[in-house]
Amino acid sequence: MNNDSRPGGRLDLASRVAHRKGQRHSDQQLTFDGLGPELIDVTFVVVDLETIGAKAGANSITEIGAVKVRGGEVISDFSTLVNPRAVIPPFITALTGISQAMVATAPGIEEALPAFFAFVGSRTDTVLVAHNARFDVGQLRGAAEAIGYPFPKIATADTLALARKAFTKDEVRNYKLSTLAAFIGAETSPTHRALDDARATVDLLHAILARLGGLGVTHLADLATAADPVPAKRRAKAHLADGLPRSPGVYKFIGPGGDVLYVGTSRNVYSRVRSYFTAAEKRKRIAEMVDIAVGVEAIATATVLEANVLEVRLIDELDPPYNRRSKRSQSRPWVMLTEEPHPRLKVARKITLEQAALALGPFGGERAARATIDVLNDATGLRSCTLKIPADGGLLPCHLAELGKCTAPCIAGDHQTEQREQVCEALSGAIQPVTAMALERVDVLAGSGRFEQAAEYRDRIFSLVRGGRSREQLVPVLAARRICAAHRVRGGWEIIVTDYGRLRGSVFAPDSGSPRAAAQALMERIEPLEAPQHATAHAPLDETQLIARWLWQEGTRLIEVDSDTPLAMRPDGATSIILPERDDGPDLG
C-alpha cells in the first residue's frame, strides 16, 4: 500500500450543466438534501480482482487491487495477492501471470478481505467502483459470506454500465476495459493484474464523469441512476429544478402554453423535481409530461401536511391533465336512515353535521355502501323495502314478510323500535354487535358448505367495517369547530390548526423555540369558520382524510379541541374489530 498518485488527473467537471442547489427557507421545516454530496466531494474506491475463474466463495480470489480517489486526486492504493488454497488453472496463469508459487505465501481471504475493507473505510460518502461491478462485488460478497465476514453497507457504481451511457458505439467498438482505456488515453493500460486494471478504471471513471456532467450528473444520487435509460434531452432539463425549495412544498410542471400539466408534492421539492430528470420514469404518462414541460414552479410550505393539502386543492382547482385524482371526493356515499315514520337505510351523497352523527362512511363507492346496508338490514331485521308506509300501516305485506325477514310494519304499523335502536347504535359508530352477528352468519353458511355465499357475505362485512373505520376517523374531525395539534418531527414540531375538517394553517416550530407559543400565535391569527351547512362544505373529503390520518398517527399531541364530538376511537367501534383474513382485496389494517 502506498500513496502513489500516478493514475488519473483532476476530475474535470467543467463541462457539466450549470447547476444551483435548491434554496433553504428559514421559516419552513428543513429536510436533508436528497441528492447527497457533489461528485467532486465523493470518495471513490476503484477495485479490481483476479480470480481462478471459480464460483464466488472462499477459494476464488487470487489478487485484490484498489485505488482510493477524491476530487480527481489519488489518496492511496491497495494491492495484495491472495492464496485461494485451490489450484490455479494454467490458462489463468497465462492470462494474469499469477502462478501457484506466487500465492503460496500470500494471505488467505480471511486475512485479505478485512484488510481491504479497512482500506475502504467507513465514510458514508464512499462509493465502491468496478468495471463490471456485478462480477467484482459479487466475488467480494461471496467471499465475505463464505468466511462469515459482515459485508459493509456501501454504494456501488459500475463503469461498464456508465460507459455505455457516456460513449456511443460510433466511438468505441466495444466496452471492454482495454478498449475504453485506449480510447480515453488512460495513463495505465490494463494488464489483467488487479492494481493496474484498477488504475486504468480510475482514469475511465474520471472520463465518464466528465461526459455525464454535461447531462446533469453532478451529485451522488444522480450517479445512482446515471445508467438508467433516461433520454439525454430529459437529463439536460435537470436545471429546471435549480432554486426550488429544499423544504416541504408543492410543485407544478408548466407546459409550453403556460398551462399546468401536473401538480405534485414532496418533503424536499428540489430533490423530488430533479429526480424526474435523472431517474428512469416507469410511468409512461409522467415521462411524456416531463418531456413536454418547459418549466417548474413551486410553493414552499411550513409542513408536509400543508403541502399535501395544497396539492389536493390545486388539483381540484386546476384539473391538470396528467394528474389522476378524483375531483368529486365530497360526493362520496354515506349510509344513513331516511326521515319517515318507518325509516329505512339509504345511500346519501350530502349530509349535514347533525346527520353525520348517525351515519357510516364515507365509502369509496356506492357498491360498498349498499353492501353495508345489506349487512345491517340482515343483522337487525330493519325493513329494506322502499315503500312509503303510513304511520299506522295498513298496506299489504311483501315477500320479505312472508319469508320472515321483516316484521312487516306495512301491515300493523310496527315501528321496529328494537331494530331501529340496533341500526342507530351501528350508525353512531358502535358496529361491533352487528359485525359479530354477521360473522356468525358467515360461519353458518360455511358450515353448511355454501362457501361461495359465505365469501360474498364476508366481503360485505369488510365494506361495513371499512365504512365504520372511515367514520371513526373523519366525523370527529368534520364536527370539530377547531383543532390545534402538534406532531414531533426531526428538529422540532409540526403544528396545525383545522376548522370543520379544513386545514386553516400550519407552522414548523424548531426545538430552539416554544411549540406552545407558536401554536397560540397561529390560532390567534386565524379567524374561526362558521359551521357549514353540509358536513363537507368547507373542504373536500380528500383534504379531511389527510388531516385525520395526520391526527391519528402515533406521537401527535392535541393542544386545543373545541368540539361536542370526542376525538377518540370507540372501544366497540370498527378499529377494535379483527376480521378474518382473505387472499384478495385491500388490507384494512
* Residues 507/518, Cβ–Cβ less than 8 Å: yes
pLDDT in tens, 220-237: 877 877 777 778 788 888
CATH code of the domain containing 73:
3.30.420.10
Q: Facing residues of 265 across strands?
A: 250
Pairwise CA distance, residues 440 & 61, whole Å: 65
From residue 512, how far is each of 30, 305, 330, 349 by CA, in Å? Answer: 14, 22, 40, 47
What is the share, in percent, of the chain residues with pLDDT greater than 90?
Answer: 66
Tell whether the model's pLDDT for residue 196 goes beyond 60: yes
Pairwise CA distance, residues 570 & 573, whole Å: 5
* Residues 277/234, Cβ–Cβ less than 8 Å: yes
pLDDT category at 198 given cuts 50, 70, 90 is very high
pLDDT in tens, 115-130: 999 999 988 889 999 9
Both 430 and 450 in a single domain?
Answer: yes
Closest CA to 42 of 209, 199, 207: 209
What per-residue confidence (pLDDT) applies to 4? 41
Q: Does the residue 366 lie in any domain? A: yes
DSSP string, 187-218: SS---SSHHHHHHHHHHHHHHHHHHHHTTT--
The angle that helices 417-427 and 366-380 make with each other, rounded to 10 degrees, is: 140
- Give the end of a domain, one of 263, 296, 325: 325
- Give the end of a domain, one of 223, 252, 271: 223
Q: Does the residue 549 lie in any domain? A: yes
Degrees to nearest 5, angle at CA 496 with 245 and 428: 135
Both 239 and 388 in a single domain?
Answer: no
Tell whether the model's pLDDT for residue 5 goes beyond 70: no
Q: What is the domain extent for residue 317?
A: 229-325
pTM of the model as a whole: 0.71
Collapsing DSSP to helix, strand or coil, 494 comes out as: strand
pLDDT in tens, 546-584: 999 999 999 899 999 999 999 888 899 998 888 766 554
CATH code of the domain containing 263:
3.40.1440.10
pLDDT category at 465 given cuts 50, 70, 90 is very high
Both 294 and 356 in a single domain?
Answer: no
Residue corresponding to grid cell 391519528: 552
- Give the end of a domain, one of 165, 195, 223: 223
pLDDT category at 307 given cuts 50, 70, 90 is very high
- Average of per-residue pLDDT across 422-449: 92
Least confident of 68-82, 462-476, 574-588: 574-588
Active-site hit among 19, 25, 131, 192: 192
DSSP string, 211-280: HHHTTT--BHHHHHHTTS---HHHHGGGGGGTT-BSSSEEEEEE-TTS-EEEEEEESSHHHHHHHHHHS-
Both 158 and 56 in a single domain?
Answer: yes
Q: Does the residue 476 lie in any domain? A: no
Q: Looking at residue 340, what DSSP letter applies? A: S
What per-residue confidence (pLDDT) applies to 325? 66
Q: Does the residue 6 lie in any domain? A: no
Count structural domains, the chain: 4
Both 271 and 384 in a single domain?
Answer: no
Residue 192 annotated as catalytic? yes
Pairwise CA distance, residues 433 & 382, whole Å: 15
Mean pLDDT of the chain: 87
Q: Does the residue 473 lie in any domain? A: no
Both 112 and 212 in a single domain?
Answer: yes
Both 451 and 486 in a single domain?
Answer: no
* Residues 426/572, Cβ–Cβ less than 8 Å: no
